[in-house]
Amino acid sequence: MVNNWTGELIYEGKAKRVYRVNDEFLVMEFKDEVTAFDGARKEHAPSKGRLAAAQTVFLMGLLGRYGIRNHLVDWDGDRKILVRGLRMIPIEVIVRNYAYGSFLKRMPLMKPMTKFSKPIVEFHLKSDELHDPLITMDDIIEAGLANWGQINEIINTALRVNEVLGNYMVSRGLTLVDFKLEFGSDGSNNLVLADELSGDTMRVLINGRHLDKELFRRGASAMDLVKSYEEMNKLLGIPLNT
Ligand code: ATP
Ligand code: TYD
């Protein structure tokens, strides 16, 4: 699809660099770095970029086979993926199956890891300065970030993603606690799932033990996190090159 896997660097975030290939495509390069607490803790993590790229490619591929439209086009087999460039909706969509993380901070009446009667979908404004505050659907409408049709489609897609990923994880002996999605729209105004699906953006347990970035948030070293991502890839059945 592309032969030089590069282009003009248009954005550098905490986890990835984004390059513009042309009007249609972007290259996203997963960095060998891990950050937590909005970048306050940051460490070099050799091989993490490739492992997180492989997770994203595998899981987006799985969702694609279930008809969930996403931005993934190709993978260089290492740290870079080719994606469709989208107009991003500046919202983080979080789906939760169990009480954990910031949910428990705002709802301390529930015990950690209580399973919800049904998955919770919530919206956060994508803003590091404001620490991604929880927002309502009316906030989204009033701020003109999305319309009701898009909000409904986001909720339905997020729940479908949860069903497909959750079932797959269970089939591999894993528990999907919660995860974060981002969406954008393409030139024909189709809603498209974007960004990444990796241990950085989801909580995944094996027998109650974290395989995801929570380890680093709780003080584990970057090297231990990388080992854990290797284990996650093995448990998910992710080949090194697909
Ligand atoms: P965070 O780490 O909190 O997710 P960030 O902005 O630092 O935020 P990175 O993952 O480092 O995130 O950077 C990737 C950027 O690319 C994000 O701003 C994301 O919204 C954006 N993005 C993801 N997919 C697409 C796409 N298909 N088209 C355009 N932009 C995209
Ligand atoms: P959440 O419990 O809201 O946040 P915190 O990490 O502050 O406890 O996180 C829910 C899920 O969403 C979790 O799997 C991590 C993911 N997530 C991201 O990928 N990026 C983010 O900026 C946030 C806030 C969460």
Alpha-carbon distances, residue 113 vs 86, 101, 169, 172 (angstroms) = 35, 10, 17, 20
Is residue 38 located within the same domain as residue 127? no
Strand partners, 47: none
* 80-98 residue pLDDT tens: 999 999 999 999 999 999 9
Q: Is residue 3 part of a domain?
A: no
From 64, 84, 104, give the residue that closes a domain.
84
Confirm if 185 and 194 have CB atoms less than 8 A apart.
no
Distance from the alpha carbon of residue 99 to the mean position of ligand 1, in angstroms: 26
Ligand nearest the Cα atom of residue 198? 2
DSSP state of 133: -
Can you tell me whether residue 80 is helix, strand or coil? strand
Substitution candidate for ligand 2 out of 55, 94, 97 with most atoms within 8 A of CB: 94
For residue 180, the ligand 2 atom closest to its alpha carbon is: 12
Is residue 223 located within the same domain as residue 105? yes
**What's the mean pLDDT when you consider all of the chain?**
96
Is residue 61 located within the same domain as residue 148? no
Q: Long-range contacts of range 61-64, CB-CB < 8 Å, 24 or more positions apart?
A: 61/242, 62/164, 62/165, 62/168, 63/161, 63/164, 63/165, 63/193, 63/197
Question: Structural domain of residue 190, as residue ranges?
Answer: 91-236
For residue 100, the ligand 2 atom closest to its alpha carbon is: 2
Confidence band of 239 (pLDDT split at 50, 70, 90):
confident
Residue 38: its pLDDT value, please? 87
Is residue 99 located within the same domain as residue 36? no
* 117-165 residue pLDDT tens: 999 999 999 998 999 999 999 999 999 999 999 999 999 999 999 999 9
* 210-238 residue pLDDT tens: 999 999 999 999 999 999 999 999 999 99
Is residue 203 located within the same domain as residue 220? yes
Give the total number of structural domains in the chain: 2
Confirm if 103 and 89 have CB atoms less than 8 A apart.
no
For residue 94, the ligand 2 atom closest to its alpha carbon is: 12
Distance from C-alpha of 48 to C-alpha of 6, rounded to nearest angstrom = 20
Does the pLDDT of residue 190 top 90, yes or no? yes
Residue 2: its pLDDT value, please? 65
* 27-57 residue pLDDT tens: 999 999 999 998 899 999 999 999 999 999 9
CATH of the domain at 28: 3.30.200.20
Does the pLDDT of residue 241 top 90, yes or no? no
Residue 3: its pLDDT value, please? 65
User: Atom 2 of ligand 1 has which residue's CA nearest to it?
Assistant: 14
Is residue 100 located within the same domain as residue 54? no
Is residue 36 located within the same domain as residue 20? yes
Q: Is residue 242 part of a domain?
A: no
Q: Is residue 1 part of a domain?
A: no
Q: Is residue 139 part of a domain?
A: yes
Q: Is residue 227 part of a domain?
A: yes
Sequence-ordered alpha helix ranges (H) in the chain: 48-65, 101-106, 137-142, 148-171, 214-217, 222-236
Residue 213: its pLDDT value, please? 98
Q: Is residue 2 part of a domain?
A: no
CATH of the domain at 156: 3.30.470.20
Does the pLDDT of residue 1 top 90, yes or no? no
For residue 217, the ligand 2 atom closest to its alpha carbon is: 6
Is residue 192 located within the same domain as residue 154? yes
Ligand 2: lining residues by beta carbon, under 6 Å: 92, 94, 100-103, 132, 178-180, 201-203
Substitution candidate for ligand 2 out of 169, 178, 204, 218 with most atoms within 8 A of CB: 178
Ligand nearest the Cα atom of residue 123? 2
Residue 64: its pLDDT value, please? 98
Is residue 113 located within the same domain as residue 232? yes
Is residue 98 located within the same domain as residue 114? yes
Q: Is residue 128 part of a domain?
A: yes
